[in-house]
Amino acid sequence: MFIVGSHAPGPRRGNHAYQLTFSSGEFLALYQKYQILVFLGETGSGKTTQIPQFVLFDDLPQKTGKMVACTQPRRVAAMSVAQRVADEMDVQLGQEVGYSIRFEDNTSPNTILKYMTDGMLLREAMNDHNLSRYSTIILDEAHERTLATDILMGLLKDVVERRPDLKLIIMSATLDATKFQKYFNMAPLLAVAGRTYPVEIFYTPVAERDYLEASLRTVLQIHATEAEGDILLFLTGEEEIEDACKKINLEAQDLIREDAAGPLVVYPLYGSLPPAQQQKIFSPAPPPLKPGGRPGRKVIVSTNIAETSLTIDGIVYVVDPGFSKQKIYNPRIRVESLLVTPISKASAQQRAGRAGRTRPGKCFRLYTEESFKKDLIEQTYPEVLRSNLSSTVLELKKLGVDDLVHFDLMDPPAPETLMRALEELNYLACLDDEGELTALGKLASAFPLDPALAVMLITSPEFYCSNEMLTLTAMLSVPQVFVRPANNRQRADEMKQLFAHPDGDHITMLNVYHAFKSDEAQENPKQWCHDHFLSYRALQQADNIRMQLKRIMEREELELMSTPFTHKKYYENIRRALVAGFFMQVARREGNGKNYTTVKDEQSVLLHPSTVLAQNDEWVVYNEFVLTSKNYIRNVTSVKPEWLLDIAPNYYDLDAFKEGETKKALQRVANKMARQTDNGTR
């Protein structure tokens, strides 16, 4: 999870409020007149903190016992903005102004302004279809088009028709304005200018052969030849960024030694970076080596998290190779790819805009102007077009949206993606054959989890291991717990072997959690994690999520139990429970090779190199199927084919199987099982 928000506390920010670039009068006139308002303003125009306050003082929601809600795509933003607004209004955070994010609710009955993640508002809508607690709803950062914001917009379009007293404000950066306006039935549009300076755009005259090298050259060239000002370089991933930082550092030292340039510091910035290191990007550029010498400069090498909502003061030069890593889901083979792809035009403009925050800047694009016009798509694909929608469909069903085909989304997903989601939910028995929500489906929607995980958790009491599955679910909901630093890979792998279990990665994760909770580790958990190459942050988060999920389990009256550790079926039960949720994510080994084939979709895959599993189990269940450099299945555990037939007879209905090796193998198992039961009855 990304920690540095747009409103990260920094010495520069202090307590001074943003000076608004627009008057409240114009805004309030429109606000009073119309039910829906589209408000366009650049980041930094102060809209996130000011507009909700205007609304508050005009609307006075406390009179009717209602609230104003303002959604944010990121948790940290919701928290820090709430804090700032509470300060500005001189109230205590959690009283009149509060926030609500997943697993944390800092509000009180007095709260009249509530900052929350868009996902939280969506969850609230599941229990209160009309969102009757709110008098005004503000959707902030709508241009980011997160899945939750998109769904909320579709829902609220309906809600405002049912509730004429509800007001809706969509706040967005100046992207795609007409689309927003058209979508909201030509709602009035109020645009305010951001306080940005012009940015001069430069293109390369010809295409670059190696964008990585070109970007390093450009950074060094800027450092050697351009006036004072910090540099922001956009690259695609952690590895690439760390590598680039190293190389820039080396070459910069060279430059400095030859007295060709001032001092240079390089900071990486990506999501999985620890928060303390993320904060470093806000430190000022180094001073000149000697008084009156050439000025120092800082370079930030970042993924596209620095593209939106993150303001780093002092950036004057932006280097944009035109790529980013994107997650894209393919419903046909159910693979999620995480690949380097060209960015969109809108994204490129956003990147360039980062250079004009403090003074006129320059943006160096490492592609030709022709490429910009021809090779880049207009807008980045919103999340709803790039994701597996099974949990969204479950949510929509719970929200009372039955006609999924005509649900009015700003960008409707591909029909095949919706079909896949429906089918997955049907196999999980969350939807019946008519497409109606089942009792299990209703229960599953109570968990803020992927449906497969939710179902696994709900059915785990049947396998006498709900405590373990609770832990496992929490561990699967956090980012990678195993740390593998580039300079110490071998040692990290050795440490991982300490926890490894021959049955696979899921049980290895359980071992990690149990070891983390042991007395020995809890004495000094931070040090322990460091010694064992584990992410303390991720484990802590997992612990937190486990607690929240436990609360939901208790609320839903699901029994919490464990098979005694000494029992010989301890591990078998866990693996069986795993199959109950992930029977659609099973692969079978092809002959004696390294290749596996996914069941039904018949895609050739490899076990991810990070697995602890020896490569000789015929049947494995996997947590995810990703395409990075190859088709990989990640987090795998070996299972027995008998369990598949036994636990998920619907999915493993052999009559519906395509002819092939998998079917033959399953048929053999089925015959054997039939013989055994015959023998048993006789």
Partner 1 sequence: MGLAGPKNRTRISNDPQNTTWSNNTSRFGHKILTSQGWTPGSSLGATDAAHAAHYTAASSSHIRVLLKDDNLGLGAKRGSETAENFGLAGLASILGRLNGNEEAVKKEEERREKVEQRAYVYRKYGLMNFVSGGFLVGGEIKPKNEIQVKKEIEIKEEIESESGGDEKKSKKRKRSRDIKEEEDEDAQAEQPKLKRKKKSMNLRGEEVDPPQDSSSKTKKSKKDKKDKDKKDKKSSKSSSTDTPTPISSTTTPTSTDPLTDKARRKAEKRARKEEKKLKKALKKAAKEAAAAQQSNPAASDDASSESEDEETTTTTTPGSSVPTSGVATPASGGMMFGSGGRHGVRQRYIRQKKMAGMDPQALKEIFMVKTPS
Q: Which is nearer to partner 1, 375 or 556 (by Cβ)?
A: 375
# chain residues binding partner 1, by CB under 8 A? 121
Q: At 140, is the secondary structure helix, strand, or coil?
A: coil
Q: Which stretch binds partner 1 (CB under 8 A): 94-102, 115-123, 179-187, 638-646?
A: 179-187
Q: Hey, is 252 helix, strand or coil?
A: helix
CA distance linking residue 284 with residue 405, whole number of Å: 52
> Taking CB under 8 A as the criterion, which residues in 211-250 touch partner 1?
211-214, 216-218, 220-222, 224-226, 247, 250
658 binds partner 1 (CB under 8 A): yes
Q: Is 349 in the site for partner 1 (CB under 8 A)?
A: yes
Under the binding rule (CB under 8 A), the answer on residue 330 touching partner 1 is yes
Tell me if 19 contacts partner 1 by CB under 8 A: no
Residues numbered 628-657 forming contacts with partner 1, rule: CB under 8 A: 629-630
Restricting to residues 562-591, name those near partner 1 by CB under 8 A.
none
Site for partner 1 in 139-178 (CB under 8 A): 173-176, 178
Kindly state whether residue 290 participates in binding partner 1, applying the rule CB under 8 A. no
| Amino acid at site 582 | F
- Sheet of 104-106, strand order: 104-106, 97-101, 113-117, 67-72, 134-139, 167-172, 36-41, 189-192
Of 145 and 546, which has the nearer Cβ to partner 1?
A: 145
- Helix axis angle for 536-555 and 466-476, nearest 10°, is 130
Of the pair 191, 670, the CB lying nearest partner 1 is at 191
Here's the x/- map for partner 1, 369-408, by CB under 8 A: it reads as: xxxx-xxxxxx-x---xx----------------xxxxxx
Site for partner 1 (CB under 8 A): which residue of 26, 210, 228, 554? 210
**Segment 87-146, which members bind partner 1 (CB under 8 A)?**
none
Query: Hey, which residues between 460 and 489 contact partner 1 (CB under 8 A)?
Result: none
Which residues are within 8 A (CB) of 210 and not within 5 positions of it... i.e. 6 or more apart?
A: none
359 touches partner 1 by CB under 8 A: no
Of 253 and 522, CB closest to partner 1: 253
Minimal distance, residue 328 CB to partner 1, in Å: 5
Residues 182-201 close enough to bind partner 1 by CB under 8 A: 182-183, 185-186, 193-194, 196, 198-201
Nearer to partner 1, 124 or 411 (CB): 411
Q: Cβ 323 to partner 1, closest distance in Å?
A: 7
Least CB distance to partner 1 at residue 231 (A): 13
The residue within the footprint of partner 1, chosen from 104, 416, 494, 554 (CB under 8 A), is: 416
Site for partner 1 in 590-629 (CB under 8 A): 595, 597, 600-604, 627, 629
483: which 2 tokens? 């740390």
State the residue for tokens 């009757």: 132
Question: Within 10 Å of residue 608's Cβ, how many Cβ atoms?
Answer: 20
Are 200 and 361 spatial neighbours (Cβ–Cβ below 8 Å)?
yes
DSSP string, 173-234: -SSSHHHHHHHTTT--EEEE--S---EEEEE-SS--S-HHHHHHHHHHHHHHHS-S-EEEEE
Using the CB atoms, write b or e for 305-343: b if 16+ within 10 Å: bbbbbbbbebbbbbbbbbbbbbeebbbeebbbbeeebbb
Q: From the list 14, 290, 433, 616, which residue makes contact with partner 1 (rule: CB under 8 A)?
A: 433
- How far apart, in whole angstroms, are the C-alpha atoms of residue 7 and residue 13? 8
- Kindly give the residue spans of alpha helices, DSSP state H, lying in 460-583: 466-476, 489-499, 505-517, 519-523, 525-531, 536-555, 570-582
Q: Using the minimum distance from each CB to partner 1, give the nearer residue, 112 or 192.
A: 192
Is residue 199 exposed (0-12), middle (13-18) or buried (19+ Cβ within 10 Å)? buried
Stretch that binds partner 1, among 13-21, 180-188, 277-285, 531-539 (CB under 8 A): 180-188
- Beta pairing partners, 67: 134
Residue keyed to tokens 């029992």: 567
